[in-house]
Every structure is written in C-alpha cells, then in structure tokens.
Structure 1
Amino acid sequence: MKKIIFVLLLGICNSLSYSQVVMNLQLPPAGITTKEQLWSISLVNSGSYDLNVTLEMQFTDAANNQRVFTAVTNQITLAKGVKQIRQADIMPVTYNIINSSYNVDANPSGLLPVGVFNVCYTVVSTGGHMQELVSDECETIEVEPLSPPILIYPSDAEQLETSRPLFTWSPPAPINLFSRLNYELTLVEVLPLQSPSDAVQQNIPLYFSPDINFTNLQYPATLKELDTAKIYAWRIKAKNNYQPIANSEVWTFSVLNKNTTLPKRINYSDYVKPAPQQNASYFVCDGIVNYQYNNIINDSILRVRIYDITT
C-alpha cells in the first residue's frame, strides 16, 4: 500500500512541475527568414520558486515530417512571473543540422530554408539531478524567399510581334537558399471583364508546364499559334524540391496582327527643335514627329507648317 501511495505522489509532483511553466509563442505571422526570429517566446513561471531551464527546438518539414535541424539554448533562470525571452538571454544557441539537402545556413543568425515547417519547442528543467520536460508547444510557419521569381519577357502589357514567345524570368532570391529549384508556368486567356489574377486562378490553361529546370521556356511549336485578337496572362511558380515556395506577379501580353506595324519610336535626341522666326529651321521627318521648344521669351503662339514631300 505504501508503494502505491509513493507512486501516486510522484506522479502528482511531476504533473505540478509540468504545469508550472506556460510557454507562449509569439512568432510573426509573416516575414520569418532568419533563425533569430524563431526565438520570440514568453515564459510564465506560475510556481513559487525559480527554475533553471533550457529551450530545445525541432524544425521539421511539414510536407514529409523530416527533421531539418534542432537547437538547444543556453541555460536561463525563470523567476516567478512572466519572462520575455531575448536573444541575449539564450546565447549561445547550439544548432545541429540534420538534413543537409535543405541547404541550412549553419550560422546562428543565418537564413532559414524556404517552405512550410513545423517548429516545436520544449522547456527542460535543469535544476535537479535529472532533466525534466516542463512545457512544450508547436507552431506551423511558412518561410518565404526574400524575392519571388521576377518575370522578364514578355513584359507586362507588351504587344508582341511573335506568336510563339520565349518566356523568360529570374529566379527567387537569395538563390543559395534552395537545393533544387524548378518552376511551373501557367498561360491563360484573359476574358472580358476579368482581372489577370482571376484569369490565372479560374481559367483552364492554354499552356501549362509543371516541371521547368531553367529560367526560360519556348512556347511549343506543336501548339496552335497565339491569337492576335486575345489578351493572355502568365505566371511563374517557383518550387524547391518540388514544394511550392513563391509565385511571381501575373503579367499580360497580346500578339500583334502581322499586318499591323508598330509606330516608329523616336528617342529624345530625335525631337525637332523649332527656332525663333529669325532663325527658322526645317526638318525632314518620317513617322511620328515630336517637338521640343524652349520658350525663353514667353511666346504665346508657335506656328508649324507640315508639308508632304512623298509625291
């Protein structure tokens, strides 16, 4: 009977110790990019005595449950009440990189890998002869690249002279965060009264390529030429190890009718410069005529005569 009572009392003591510390995670809802941001935590010691503890953390890929790295902080003392953890309190932090395929920066202030991850924390009491878990908590976070893929060609709202463009973009940054980058291209028609973003999300793709290993892709010769009477929208989705990490903006373009010619573009240096009457000048121009006039004496009228000399 005494042994049973002893076991029950030991269980009650452990339960009280476990509930003595409450952990509140205060991770930012977005914009997490570095390891230092993972330690935004407050601890509440509801007991009547101080506790010496360490914090342990496991960083796990949410898609496949693979552990990426673990971390252990320096010992800290929790007085009764609330303690807001500061970076200086827990230094040095020891990081153990478990999975090298994620290209984790070993520097304590280094960048995190991009993707969706589960971060689990454990408060471990170190005051007695044995380490004892006194609190634990987990949260799912999404680490996004500092810069998503950037579209290059066709540029936004551009009118193309080719019906089979070479789609071109730049990779997300910083590039060293990624172990295996690939891309997904979506090309859709934009219907009347439809925004480009809605078109990409709602319309059936005219062309879809889910596994691109380079930052350009030629519109296939096996597909029908793009229609000159339609507006198209395109988007690039970047993926690391086949897991989506960031989307580009959605840009639109159209294809010029082959019978349509673009107006001649004249640089600033091609502007004709009318002069005062005593220094009147003339110019032979073809296409668009641009004027630049420096009105020094505040003239109110500028007379220009245009003659057709093609006949």
Structure 2
Amino acid sequence: MMFSQHLVLIRRLLIIAILVNNSCGKVETHSDKHHDGAATVGSFSKSVKDERLDSESHAKLYRNALKLKRREQLNAVKTILAIDNAKKRKVLVLDLVSGMQKVIDEAKQLIEKANYNAGDAFPFANTQLKEAIGNVVENTAFFCEFALRFPSIIGKKYLNDYKLRSTIDWAYKFSEAADLYDEVAQKLLNLCGQELNVITRYLNDYKLRSTIDWAYKFSEAADLYDEVAQKLLNLCGQELNVITREENFVNPYDKKFIKEEIEREAVRRMKEAQEKKAQQKKMEKMKKKERKPTLSKTEL
C-alpha cells in the first residue's frame, strides 16, 4: 500500500514536470503583452534589427529557465532510480515515456501548423507556439535522461515501437536545431542519439563512466594488486582521465603508439646503418690514400 501511494505521488510530480511550461514556455515581459494585444503606436516602425534582438533576448531567458526545469527532471529521474522493485520501476518508466510521446506529438502538430522551423527566430510574441517549442525541447531532454539511465527498457521500446521512434527522431532533430540547450543538455542529447543510434554510436558515457570510476577507486583502495597489475591500473586511470595524467604520460599498449615507436626505431636503425656505411667508406678512402705511393718533385 505504501508503495502504491509512493508511485502515485511520483507520477503526479513527473506529470507536472512534463506538462507545466509556465516557467519556461512563457517568458512574461511587457513586450509580450504588447504583441499579444493590439498594435501600439510606433510598433510598425520597429526595425528588423530590433525584432531580432528581442528574439535573441527571449531565447536567452528561456535557456535560463530551461536549466531550472532540467534540475526538476533530474530529481524526478533520481526518485525513480531509487525504486527497488524493478518490475514496478519499468511500468512507471514506460508510462512516463508514453506521456512524453503524447505531449511531443501534440506540440509537433502546432509547430507544423505554424510553419515554424527549428532555428528560426524565437517566437516570443506567439505564446501558443512558444509553449509548443518548450514542450518538445523539455520532453526530449527528459526522454534522453531515461534512455541513458534505463537503456534496456527504453532501447527495446524505441526499437519495437515505430510511432515512438518516429516521434523521438523528429524531436531529436528539432531540439538539436533549435539551439536552446546549454552545454550539459547538448551533451545529454548527443549521448542519447548515440545510445539509440539516431546518430553514430560510440559509448553511453553515463552508465559506463560511473561504473568504471567506482570500480577503479574500489580496486585501488582494496590493495590486492601486485606491482604489475597496479601499474596497469594506473596507466588505465590516466588513459581514461579518471586520475590526472603525468606530464610525460605514454600508453605503451596503444597500438598506434607502438606502431609509431616501431617506425621511429626502424628509421633510427636505418640512419645508424647509413652513417656507419658512410664512415666505413670514408675510412677505406683514407686507407687507400695512405697506401698510394707518392713522388717528390725531384723524382718527377
């Protein structure tokens, strides 16, 4: 019973995190009120430059508000991660993803109806469109949090659900082009794209790095390695920047480094052989010169 109540509370909190956009979608300023109402005296004389500056200013305000929303999202994700029951956690995650998909699809319809393209000037004068953009950008970032922290759940759902895949692929490209994320959120988007193969895949930094960092520190503190294994651990830590690299750090297991080292050694030996050969020729010439008979002027 306690768990059910806890689950309901989490759902309510997260639905608020998904649907509420007043803090981000609505950037309330005096200029918005003027634009939403009738045209004021002199409004038609406003230059294109002023419009652009207003758009950039509102976009900046939105980015700052989005940072706060992202904190709320992250706290919500942490709450779900703390649920011990894997089955109930999976159900909750899938329910939330379904809710995100619905919100993004509705926002997409509004955006396409307004003929707005990601990257266009931020529509500070159009409250409805502004909120739709916020819904896409916020829920895409929220979805990415789940995709990276629950890859087995989200990956399977994304792969087998064509409608979800179509929604997320569109939202991913829109959010990337909208240029409203800060550096942290942009990295999150990039990692999510790799995890779901929306873009070329490398590594899921979040799950791998946290695991390796913990394992490294634990193994180092356990003091169970011999000298050789300890050296290997140290080299690995420097290579992955888990610990600070030494000034003259070199990874001796790096194939590229080994190849370059072999090439350098081959060139060095070749030069030594050439120098030795040249020295020998020089010595032979000197010996021949010493053996050759010379005649004095009187004898000639």
Fold similarity call, TM over 0.5: no
Q: Which has the higher contact order (CA 8 A, sep 6+)?
A: 2
TM-score (norm 2): 0.22
Q: Which has the higher helix share?
A: 2
